[in-house]
Amino acid sequence: MCLGGFNPRTQKNFVQYTYGVGGENARVFRDGKELIFMRFCNAMCVPQELEERWFPNVFTKYVAVKDSCGHGKTRGGFALIREYDVQSDETLTIHGDREKFPPFGLGGGTNAGGCKLIVNPGTDKERNIGMYATGVQLKKGDHVYYNTAGGGGWGNPLERDPELVCRDVMDDWISLECAKDIYGVIIKIGDAEALEFSVDVKATKKQRETLKDRKIPEGYGPHQIQPYGKDYKLAWEPTEEEVQRHITISRPPGW
């Protein structure tokens, strides 16, 4: 997304590039990364304090989106919501993707949540900009809501390591309801402030037995099973160690 206009604070014209920070698709050997942009250079999100210092826009929300990943044996990364108030008249251009068809899952994993870009949500001035638009005029005082996409999941969510699900709940990436209904994992909470989270092994075994014959709806929308990818299987499922040397050649450190 690109914003441009005149900055009344600096008395100069400005151009603000806002990259689509979101979730990476799951890998067969590891979860997708969360809150990244420009995956070809492995960069994380830009702090909103810097953007507010440089440009005439004030953020009102800048948070990760709980349950926005594609669910699976390995899950996708998580999305980000940015909301901000425009402090001057500006022009907006967006070149994005994955609004109607979010990142898809494979091999029984679900699709992730999709993108949204809305100006003045919940008012009589609401406009759904979509992911492809140019020359959109914003007025001082407009409110912008930008929700990026998560990453698609790989494999059956019921095969995910319960301890990884517990960790995601503890880190507030996924909800207790998602852990129970999607992954079949029952989490016990002692003192949440002290991060006392644990897997109820007996209840989890029972819940997964209950869910083993469930059918997640197929389709191209958020958290559905992508019809063309549902039966995708690998002839060889590599470990992280087996692919590490290839990653270091084709990707920067950290991938």
Of 14-23, 175-184, 196-205, 212-221, where does mean pLDDT reach its minimum? Answer: 14-23
Instruction: Output the average pLDDT for the chain.
Output: 89
| pLDDT of 38 | 53
Are 38 and 114 in the same domain?
yes
Burial of 146 (0-12, 13-18, 19+ CB in 10 A): buried
User: Is 139 in the same domain as 116?
Assistant: yes
Can you tell me which residue has the tokens 């996409």?
149
46 vs 182, higher pLDDT: 182
Spatial distance between the Cα atoms of 124 and 147, rounded to a whole number of angstroms: 20
Is residue 138 located within the same domain as residue 161?
A: no
Cβ atoms of residues 38 and 45 within 8 Å: no
Helix or strand or coil: residue 21?
coil
Partners of 106 in beta bridges: 154
pLDDT (0 to 100) of residue 240: 78
The reply to whether 67 falls in a domain is yes
Token output for 7 = 């900055």
Alpha carbons 56 and 36: distance in angstroms, whole number: 24
Average pLDDT of the residues in 216-242 = 88
User: Does some domain include residue 5?
Assistant: no
Per residue in 85-139, pLDDT tens?
A: 999 999 999 988 888 899 999 999 999 999 999 999 999 999 999 999 999 999 9
pLDDT over 70 percentage in the chain: 92
Residue 177 identity? E
Strands (E) in 105-252, as ranges, are 116-119, 127-128, 132-138, 143-147, 187-189, 197-199
246 lies in some domain: no
Amino acid 179 reads A
Q: What is the share, in percent, of the chain residues with pLDDT greater than 90? A: 68
Clarify whether residues 112 and 50 are in a common domain: yes
What pLDDT was estimated at residue 39?
Answer: 52
If one counts every other C-beta atom within 10 angstroms of the C-beta of residue 6, the result is 13
Per-residue pLDDT tens for 9-34? Answer: 999 999 998 777 788 899 898 999 88
Q: Are residues 136 and 42 in the same domain?
A: yes
Contacts of 84 (CB under 8 A, 6+ apart): 48, 57, 58, 59, 60, 143, 144
pLDDT band at 43; cut points 50, 70, 90: low
The reply to whether 47 and 130 lie within a common domain is yes
Which of 155, 172, 205 terminates a domain? The answer is: 155
The answer as to whether 251 is a domain residue is: no
Task: In whole angstroms, give the CA distance from residue 61 to residue 83.
Answer: 5
Question: Which residues form the domain of 89?
Answer: 11-155
Q: How many domains does the chain have?
A: 2
The whole-angstrom separation of Cα 214 and Cα 111 is: 17
pLDDT at 253 exceeding the cut of 60: no
Q: How confident is the model at residue 235 (pLDDT cuts 50, 70, 90)?
A: confident
pLDDT, residue 248, reads: 54
Q: Are residues 122 and 26 in the same domain?
A: yes
Residues 91 and 20 in one domain: yes
